[in-house]
Amino acid sequence: MDKIEARGARRQGLTEQLADIVLADGLDALSLRPAAARLGTSDRMLLYYFGTKAALMEDVLGCVGQRFAAHLAAATRNVRIPPHQMVGFTAGLMATEAGKPYADIWFEIAARAARGDKAFAAAAENVAECWIAWIIRSVHFPAGVAPRSAAAMMLAIVNGITLLESTAPSVAAAARSRVQSAAA
């Protein structure tokens, strides 16, 4: 392995470790000095491998996004879900122990994007598109239904229920119950 390959491999390893930290502790854990200390390195070494904090953030959010896509794909394993069951299925998936870290990061990204942070706006767009693509692949839409529009509506409902799970659990439970009973 030459120096360039070794540097790329080290950067990828750091990205994976930083993604673990973000999923466990949120985006604020990516402050350079504390993150570097947790990895047993220095902030200067992180900047050596990533060039800028923006590049580090982009790589880490990309990694988290790829993991989220894999999490979603594993949940359905290429099985098509009837449209009337997708919202309840997905809201339940995001409330699981495995799904909650992704939901938490999603809302942190969305909040920062809503405040005008362009780096997070791009990440939010990527995550939303990932989710919509997964819904389109995972739902058997009937003829005449525009899959992208229907998937976007489903995503909006899931996001509402998932946000309520963090802020008003009893309301989220009532909403999830209603969605699941409507699907029955």
Architecture of the domain whose range is 3-183: Orthogonal Bundle (1.10)
74: buried, middle or exposed (CB in 10 Å: 19+, 13-18, 0-12)?
exposed
Average pLDDT score over residue span 171-180: 83
What's the CA gap between 86 and 98, in Å, rounded?
18
The pLDDT value given to residue 71 = 92
pLDDT per residue over 102-161, tens digit each?
999 999 999 999 999 988 999 999 999 999 999 999 999 999 999 999 999 999 999 999
Domain ranges of the chain: 3-183
Q: Is the pLDDT of residue 88 over 90?
A: no
Phi, psi of 101 (to 5 degrees): -60, -35
Distance in angstroms (rounded) separating the CA atoms of residues 73 and 85 = 16
pLDDT at 39: 94
What is the mean predicted confidence (pLDDT) over 66-85?
89
Per-residue pLDDT tens digits for 12-68? 999 999 999 999 999 999 999 999 999 999 999 999 999 999 999 999 999 999 999
